[in-house]
Amino acid sequence: MIVPYTSMFTWALPPMWRPGERLFTSHERDAQPDRSPISASGGDYPAEATGYFATDMEIEYHSPAIVGDRLGILQGGLVEVSLKETSVGRGAFLKNESSIVDEHGAALATMRTGMYVYEPLPSRPCGPRPASGTSWQTVGPGQVTVTLPR
């Protein structure tokens, strides 16, 4: 039995939470979960960018998943950066590429995910204000160093 292509991403994600685990540790308005497989924390994203939202997602399917397959996501890395200042703040549009793989490491799909990570404008707060002197330090092939001017 073949799993529907469109459900592949759902089955490849780790769980949002585990029984007994606290997902939210803050009672503040607009608090974010401490851990989420779809958050912008970690990876190629700067810690100083406290705001983010997804902009687009493209999935190219190569072969089907079969019932019983163990799926996972293999991060490919940052493939595109475009600096921009929008009405919500100064930041960058990022494009990451990753693969949905089976338990043997075979790529079943390639995902390109876009998001805007930004430092919110003072009039539009989004969590605590970051420290001054935003600087992105990234290394490795396909990664870039970005400094957001003040």
Q: Tell me the whole-structure pTM to 2 decimals.
A: 0.65
Q: Which residue has the tokens 């939210």?
A: 24
> Per residue of the chain (150 residues), what is the pLDDT tens digit?
777 888 888 888 888 778 888 888 888 887 777 777 666 554 555 556 778 888 999 999 999 998 889 999 998 889 999 999 898 888 999 999 999 999 999 999 999 999 998 888 876 555 544 445 544 444 444 444 454 444
Q: What is the CATH number of domain 1-12+46-121?
A: 3.10.129.10
- Concatenate the DSSP letters of all residues of 28-65 into one string: STTPPPS--TTSS-STTS-TT--EEEEEEEEEEE-S--
Domain positions in the chain are 1-12+46-121
